[in-house]
Structure 1
């Protein structure tokens, strides 16, 4: 098989990646700017070389076979690395020092990543930094695909911990945020007082949701039935400002969106609720550029400090 793989060219890997990500040969052909017959011949060439089918045809498109899944994952990594190299070369030619891509959950983005980026900006002005904020599952998928240099998130289910380095960790504290003028008091609010309130919260299965549901159960309360699921801080703020919903968020996020002069305010519960820690995570096989390594060091300083 290794000898057969040596026969494949970059265009073959790009085709495998495009079919796996798009799910249809015609769309993959459009992405690669080739005709569908040419893409079909190229795929047949690859499958003939490897002696096995890489995709199964079904009414809605194409899905990878088990062998195809393995090769598609490697193709995604190879294509991502080459695209990254092209981006770095373009940045160098444009006079920029380099590019770094980092992912973070919302609390970490506010408390850890933003200050680290500001510190990097003081040291080096010629940088191109991309920050992706989202749930840990999405960030881990991007990290595995080679689309991020590193991430500050949780090791989501379904990912092999042996593939990644889990470096420093940080525990998140939960705070509640409501609109200014909300009927609930500001301080020492018992959890039972929230029994009739609805939530604006991340979807089921996320650490924030799990921590709040566990707190309700521990207090002998049923979790709310009125729930708006969103991971968007902007949507959360808009919903809170127009209703009596309650949003559990990370402490750093609460300090940002419910500070002085904002239409939102914080509630102080009569108990502490914490979320499982997030980590600084990098892919073991992905080398870091000097710029990415420096930003990761600044993130480490803030996580340990």
Structure 2
């Protein structure tokens, strides 16, 4: 592929949107629906783009389309370019009106219970016109949205190694405890054997989470199987209500139990199970003023809850 082919004026912004839709939807039908155009328009546009680049981007099959090696590579650059243009547009708008702007935050369980709400409340006191959008999803889904520029950053449990194309900033370390309702039959105990605890119904995080992996390793180290009676979810409101209304137990960040008087931490140690909570950013992407203000609020609140723990990771 010759570089001038991409710079001779034939490559258009709509081609980037097309590739993002095709790779995201996995079919011409899905891409056409996402772009609000007809299927023939998508097909012609893809043929046009492949002629410009001189390579085949997708393999067509009975179950849809699959990106080739060229398609995978070009999709990454297309998504990066679209994300940068989105950030540029928002940045210019915020320069024009510094009191407004908006920030989109992705979160999963570890960041959503106390830290994020306090940081939002603090920031809204100074910038009431700022629009803040919070999206909750699995870590994998949030990373996809981060790369695509659909969210500005992620607040939650940090991976041991930052995912490719991202950087991390640690806000605080958080202990994982077994949490139950305050009136739970085990709440008044001073010591609880693990086999007795496993006999109760559990709420476990999904298999796609790092915490689930650590819990499985914990049970394995203690020669125990996973609790057979269990619910699997990372939806915080669902978890909290199940704990409050039943005798279920769950392994959760310690602050969740401390911030709700209806919940309590049970006296059992989950050795080696812990978490770093922080911010995950797209590497090399400039943040808007609103996003920078939100990050600073998170750092300030984290330092007030866990002094001197905020640091780059």
Relative to the length of structure 2, the TM-score reads 0.83
Does the residue aligned with 1:173 lie in a helix, a strand or coil?
strand
Consecutive unaligned residues of structure 2, counting only runs of 5 or more, are 308-313
Aligned pairs for 1:83-94 within 5 A: 83=86
Residues 1:182 and 2:184 are matched in the alignment: yes
Residues 1:124 and 2:127 are matched in the alignment: yes
C-alpha deviation, 1:191, in angstroms = 4.2
Contact persistence 2:104–2:152 (CA under 8 A): yes
Task: Report what 1:155 is aligned to.
Answer: 159
Question: Residues of 2 paired with 1:137 and 1:39: CA distance?
Answer: 28
Residues 1:271 and 2:235 are matched in the alignment: no
Contact persistence 1:208–1:249 (CA under 8 A): no
Which stretch of the first structure deviates more once superposed, 166-175 or 38-47?
A: 166-175
Does the residue aligned with 2:114 lie in a helix, a strand or coil?
helix
C-alpha deviation, 1:296, in angstroms = 1.0
Aligned pairs for 1:96-111 within 5 A: 97-111=100-114
Given candidates 208, 221, 229, the residue that maps to 2:232 is 229
Consecutive unaligned residues of structure 1, counting only runs of 5 or more, are none
Question: Residues of 2 paired with 1:179 and 1:276: CA distance?
Answer: 22
Question: Residues of 2 paired with 1:35 and 1:103: CA distance?
Answer: 32
Contact persistence 2:145–2:151 (CA under 8 A): yes
Which stretch of the first structure deviates more once superposed, 119-128 or 68-77?
A: 68-77
Task: Report what 1:211 is aligned to.
Answer: 214
C-alpha deviation, 1:293, in angstroms = 1.0
Aligned pairs for 1:12-23 within 5 A: 12-23=15-26
Deviations 1:37-63 (A, max 9, x none): 222111101111111111111111111
Question: Residues of 2 paired with 1:74 and 1:172: CA distance?
Answer: 36
The Cα RMSD (Å) is 2.8
Task: Report what 2:311 is aligned to.
Answer: none
Does the residue aligned with 2:247 lie in a helix, a strand or coil?
coil
Contact persistence 1:146–1:286 (CA under 8 A): no
